[in-house]
Amino acid sequence: MIRVRPGDRSFVSSGGIATTYFSAATKSPEALNAERANLLDPRAKKVPYITQTLKDEQGVFIAASDYMKTLPDSIRQWVPGSFTALGTDGFGRSESREALRDFFEVDAKHIVWAALVTLHNEKKIGADVLAKPSLSIARAVRV
């Protein structure tokens, strides 16, 4: 998560977009258990912790991992909103973690870009925000 924080400056420069960070070390079986309980007893009405935590959050959700995209994608069904998963669907192509994150597009600038494009697709920001000359992300990201 510490690697994502530099993206804050990009959000501010792209129109004052606020950010909130959540971190999950691993997929919790708790959500699966809640889903199972609801399946076995429809009266149970259990809500997974991740859904409870994010229910009042607005905006888009971008999940990134240094591992395969399927890891962050595994929580998609419990996230209440637009969700984009980023991951390193490959192995051994880089000499450092930083180079790996850049190559597989999971570093701060790509996370910011994914959030901006998702916001644009939802018509929450205009195309002008993506095209801003001050938005160095657009030049840094291979588009």
| pLDDT value of position 9 | 54
Query: Where do runs of H (alpha helix) occur along 14-67?
Result: 29-40, 49-54
Picking from 98, 115, 119, the residue whose alpha carbon sits closest to that of residue 107 is 98
Q: Give the mean model confidence (pLDDT) for residues 14-27.
A: 67
Segment 57-98, tens digit of pLDDT? 888 898 888 888 888 888 899 998 899 998 887 666 667 888
Give pTM, 2 decimals: 0.76
Average pLDDT estimate for 6-30: 64
Kindly list the domain boundaries of the chain, sorted by start residue.
7-140
What is the structure's pLDDT at 27?
62
Per-residue model confidence as pLDDT tens digits over 62-73: 888 888 888 888
Q: Token digits for 40? A: 């076995």
CA distance 58 to 86: 20
Tell me which fold the domain 7-140 belongs to: Rossmann fold (3.40.50)
